Amino acid sequence: MPDAEQRPAPLIRPPRLLTDVDRAATRLELFFDLAYVLVIAELAARLAKDLTAEGVAAFAGLFTVAWWSWVTTTLYANRFDTNDVLYRLGKLAAAAAVLGMAASAPGATRGTAAAFTLSYLATRVVLFLLYARAYRHVRQARATIGIYLAGTGAGAVCWLASLAVPAPWKFTLWGCGILVEALAPPAATRFGGNVPLHLEHLPERFGLFVILVLGESVASVVLGVHDTHWETGPVLVAAVSFVAVAALWWNYFDLGGAAGKQHLVQTDADDKHDATDGYVYAHLPLTLGLAAGAVGVEQLILHPDGDVSTLGRWLLPVGAALFLLGTAAVIAGTARTWRAAWPWPLAAVPFVVAAGAPTAWPPAATAGLVAAALLAVVLAGIRAQHRGALRTTET
């Protein structure tokens, strides 16, 4: 007869609150994230083909939808991931729906809008069912779960209604659906009966999503060099662009993201929920900037002679500025004061944006100025870190 510790876990286990146990990202969560790699890649390819104001707006909106679907699933898993068969099936079904979002993303505002809507709606149905199951079993968290159920359900109704109306009302309903759902976390903070998030698991998961988006920039460097057949000009732009991407990584994982995690850990118990809300929402501009910057990197590499479009030239500087603003929001949101993000990294934002101003310069110069500005931010952050002005911990 095997000991109790050697017996396999039951296939079906009721959800329970897991915020007081040691845990890390699971293999299932990593597998789930792969679907979002495809969504971001498709959205980036879509933007590269439509470098217009309308194309940029559509990219930002669709990225926000994809990001929010990841966030809401992650917030559920942060509290209630029991990793039993029913949860696994739900998570895999959500991953399949995200693959549908990726496949329909190129035409999401045109011919495949219905497919994109149904795919996103499927993720809402799965999430609603998971929360309904948790509501049944986790009595001490029912106030919080009820708020998430209401937000998810109301958002799903908006998306369902959008199937019956044409653009632009369709997209208005999409936006309303996301907005209604986005009100749930702060409402749960205020009225949810003090149900915390896991403060070790949360930064790890968001760090993995940042890595996922940064991977698109690395892919842009590789594809740009490949598509230009290793010509000297593109290789030079690619090398400088990679320095900029590496600086973005350093700024987040050693400095800004680490400072955000440190603030989360040290925040007083009464303020932790507000701090986690700030941490979550600040990652939207941060990751959106990274995704837009990845398209900008590829555009600069593909047009080393300067025939890049105006929007194509601005994507990297503006994306880097959005990243820094998001990083500042991570720090300020967790510290609950904007003073925590001044002067690092807020003071650097104008200088990064200014890197795109000399439009008559070759793309290598634009990439070089952005890289130099981001390296300066790294050095300034390290200096602040060693002086104790920027308090960090390992991410």
| Phi-psi group of 312: left, alpha or beta (phi > 0 → left; psi -120 to 50 → alpha; rest → beta) | alpha
Whether residue 392 has pLDDT greater than 60 = yes
pLDDT, tens digit (0-9, with 9 covering 90-100), for 40-70? 999 999 999 999 999 999 999 999 999 999 9
Give me the residue label for tokens 């009966």.
193
Given CA atoms 304, 309, 310, 314 in this order, what sign does their dihedral have?
A: negative
Model pTM score: 0.94
Mean predicted confidence (pLDDT) in 260-280: 79
pLDDT, tens digit (0-9, with 9 covering 90-100), for 338-388? 999 999 999 999 999 988 776 668 889 999 999 999 999 999 999 999 998
Whether residue 220 has pLDDT greater than 50 = yes
How much is the mean pLDDT over the chain?
93
pLDDT of residue 272: 58
pLDDT of residue 391: 87
Whether residue 1 has pLDDT greater than 80 = no
- Structure confidence at residue 288 as a pLDDT band (50, 70, 90): very high
Whether residue 20 has pLDDT greater than 70 = yes
CA nearest neighbour of 35 among 77, 85, 73, 79: 73
Half-sphere exposure of 392 (CA within 13 A, CB side): 21
Mean predicted confidence (pLDDT) in 19-31: 89
**Crossing angle, helix 169-182 and helix 184-191, to 10 degrees?**
30
Whether residue 395 has pLDDT greater than 50 = no
- Burial (CB < 10 A; 0-12, 13-18, 19+), residue 388, is exposed
